[in-house]
Structure 1
């Protein structure tokens, strides 16, 4: 059981208070967006194996089968297949989409062959991996996820009554779903800047008007969330892109899974995020970063979807474990709460405490105590571990793989 020292990423959209509050620290005054736990080379966690600190990626590279297990190495290779994060959104993140594995490999190879530096602004692919992900809310978390059904978007836009959005209404009403969604997003992303500024301003005003008239608190929240995007990015097509997507509100303990090609954006809240070990992002707005429209359109899955809020379910084979099911093997997210439970230890895993006090005890009697914001790595070769959540507020998230 190795306690982890984790890096905080200070992205501009990060909350200034949420991660410090979780860690029981005073805020620095700077945004603290993500707490990374894992072996991604961008910010690997540190561990102490007795002879001083070493990064988790180097520890794994020195003996992959010991740390990850033979089955994990055979299935996924000699690196940790997942990246675990605490994500604290104080402002909206970009509308974005992630590539599937084939597109990630092809895109990365093409940019490598073209000699595009990894840190170049115009670089799309930082690695050759896909990036499916799951986000589980620790507090109310809002955002957008997946395309709304075209006729539902038509109904919303007609209520807004913004004349400049009429071309989107006409396309969504007249064309088959895939074609309609593709044309609508393409139209939004290829507007000239003066038109974007005019439309975003008019749409913001219409959203606030409609929110004030709404008798539904859920609808008023959705409309207000959309309007806030214009306050942060008044000259950006992100608000117009987001209007094509489902608004989602996650309550604490609820999660959402995002597969390849699904456009999404996080607006505000605190959550844990588990993903394949990748940093590949294609953007469609709400960002000063590079937007590659042709590549984005190749990656997006143009199909209407329901957000599909996921709630944890008990696992008969693992007493005490509550699983967040997802159609992916590179990662597996679950949680433990009050009580004392045996923890499976045949795969690599990162454990994160987000509430109360959790005590880990291995077969030798060694103990490790975790409090909110603290985490540890358990290697596949480790002896059996017992998880004890002390009190009804104890929460421990478990990130591992399926093999």
Structure 2
């Protein structure tokens, strides 16, 4: 049971206030800070802070003794590798539109690119590792996202509401086949449009969205989203693709699970994110980074439905967001100002405990004890005893607990 010192990732879409304020640092930060990483990702592993103040890489600890750190089952299942990564996500601006491969797709793509001799750090590499990358995002503040394809009938209604001469033929394409095949056909058509055609169509669509917003139309929120994306990426086919996706607003404590193939885009807000420890991303657009359209089309799931919003089910340690992902499971525990009831966190596998509100005391069965303040996290190895978590002070408290789904 040891405190973690975690890496901050300074991506351009991040906030200059959210993560510094969470960590008790001066606000605003000199540069955007987008993600706080907790785990043993090779790109930026957490540091484990010993009682003597000495810091050691969590990745090196896991590699040195995977059974003690991960447990025999977890180590055996995941090749002596911590299978999840926990993050704080602070999105001030939209991220890229993207999807992630299944385990089979990742293994095949990785082997193919290895055989082709593409360096793993190359800009055009799609599969730097052979593993899947499902993820779950749980809102800490109001969190806005696009995720999964909207019911085609509803999308046809949206497209009709912003009808333009240039858009009409695409609307009729989906109206004639309002199913997953129709979505695939329209999506493929849009993201492969010649730039000259795109440069004519996009301004028409954006002007129609402006008119719809002025009229306070039924799709006001969707149109405002398209206008924001169009302003940031004025010549990008991803702006059109965004018209096909569910527009979501999550309240604090609500979550969405993004399995393989789910096309998604985080727009704005602060969240806890847990994902498989993988870097495999197939981008659709709204980014200067590499976009491989044929590979993206192999991965994207065109089945359409409303995205389920998870609120957490009662579990042994708070509300559990059940997904079926073998790599991870996320739980949330909340205490009111008058609730001081302790919670026990026990597991046969690795755990990360993250305090996002208030202050906590974490006491192990062997008598060791740590204070866990807002923004801090603790590593619990599989070999560690169970711990009891109790809020301290008089303020409400909140804890997120990350575990491996198969351990």
Seen in structure 2, the aligned counterparts of structure 1 residues 372 and 204 have a Cα distance that, compared at 3 Å, is farther
Q: Which residue of 1 aligns with 2:329?
A: 332
- 1:193-234 Cα offsets, whole Å, 9 max, x none, are 232233222222222321232266xx4333212210011111
| Partner Cα separation in structure 2 for residue 115 and residue 293 of structure 1 | 20
| Partner Cα separation in structure 2 for residue 247 and residue 80 of structure 1 | 33
User: Between Structure 1 and Structure 2, how many residues are aligned?
Assistant: 398
| Partner Cα separation in structure 1 for residue 110 and residue 151 of structure 2 | 32
Whether 1:243 and 2:243 are equivalent positions in the alignment is yes
Between 276-285 and 339-348, the greater mean CA deviation after superposition: 339-348
Q: Which residue of 2 aligns with 1:279?
A: 279
Q: Which residue of 1 aligns with 2:136?
A: 134
| Partner Cα separation in structure 2 for residue 342 and residue 44 of structure 1 | 27
The answer to whether the 8 Å contact 1:255/1:310 transfers is: yes
Q: What displacement does 1:182 show?
A: 1.0
- 1:30-70 Cα offsets, whole Å, 9 max, x none, are 11111111111011111134483221111001111101111
The answer to whether the 8 Å contact 2:363/2:369 transfers is: yes
Q: Which residue of 1 aligns with 2:253?
A: 253
Seen in structure 2, the aligned counterparts of structure 1 residues 295 and 386 have a Cα distance that, compared at 3 Å, is same
**Structure 2 unmatched runs, 5+:** 336-340
**Structure 1 unmatched runs, 5+:** none
- 1:331-374 Cα offsets, whole Å, 9 max, x none, are 00001122311111321011111111111111132221122221
| Partner Cα separation in structure 2 for residue 88 and residue 149 of structure 1 | 29
Match of 2:398 among 392, 395, 399: 395
1:54 alignment partner, SS class: strand
Q: What displacement does 1:102 show?
A: 0.6
1:10-89 alignment, distance < 5 Å: 10-26=10-26, 27-49=28-50, 50=52, 52-89=54-91
Q: What displacement does 1:29 show?
A: 2.6
| Partner Cα separation in structure 2 for residue 28 and residue 166 of structure 1 | 46
Seen in structure 2, the aligned counterparts of structure 1 residues 153 and 63 have a Cα distance that, compared at 3 Å, is same
| Partner Cα separation in structure 1 for residue 285 and residue 298 of structure 2 | 16
1:84-99 alignment, distance < 5 Å: 84-99=86-101
The answer to whether the 8 Å contact 2:346/2:385 transfers is: no
2:113 alignment partner, SS class: helix
TM-score normalized by the length of structure 1: 0.95
C-alpha RMSD of matched pairs (Å): 1.5
Seen in structure 2, the aligned counterparts of structure 1 residues 64 and 267 have a Cα distance that, compared at 3 Å, is same
| Partner Cα separation in structure 1 for residue 371 and residue 142 of structure 2 | 27
1:284 alignment partner, SS class: strand
